[in-house]
Amino acid sequence: MKTLYKTVLCGEFKTPYNSPDSVNEYRVLSHQDICCSKMQEAIDDDAIGFGGFRDDYLNHREPTINIASYAGYQTFNYHPISFCPFCGQPIEVEEKERVALKKKEHTRTITEVAYEEQEV
Ligand SMILES: [Zn+2]
């Protein structure tokens, strides 16, 4: 299986914690050549998913395919894998696109609605 992804850099999106070349998001584009039906089911059920860890973002490390395990209180832990746990085929990830956020300002007019009392 090969997962293609897009890297979104912070660019002009500034917070106290990032720089223009910080990673804002790794976004999955597609999973190609899914190796077996169990892997497809696991992806459909979100038991296996794609993502970067905080350290990956900070260190520009490639995101990974991960197995989720329930950690209690509606939280999950994620464990990177390099091979399909069902059939043993290798898992690859490949950056297909790299973009940076650009600031764009919108000016809009709004209509507010309020209710007032009226004699009847
Ligand atoms: Zn498989």
DSSP state of 15: -
Residue 17: predicted pLDDT: 83
How far is ligand 1, taken at its centre, from the CA of residue 87, in Å? 4
The alpha carbon of 83 and the centre of ligand 1 are apart by a number of angstroms equal to 8
Tens digits of per-residue pLDDT, 70-90? 888 888 888 999 999 999 999
Q: State the Cα–Cα distance between residues 57 and 105, nearest whole angstrom.
A: 27
Residue that the structure tokens 């009847």 belong to: 120
Instruction: Output the CA 30–ligand 1 centroid distance in Å.
Output: 16
∠ CA 29-30-31, rounded to 5°? 145
Contact between 65 and 49 under an 8 Å Cβ cutoff? The reply is yes
Structure tokens, 35: 């190796």
Please tell me the predicted confidence (pLDDT) of residue 86: 97
pLDDT digits (tens, 9 = 90+) for 7-45: 999 999 988 888 898 888 999 999 999 999 999 999 999
> How much distance in Å is there from the Cα of 38 to the middle of ligand 1?
6
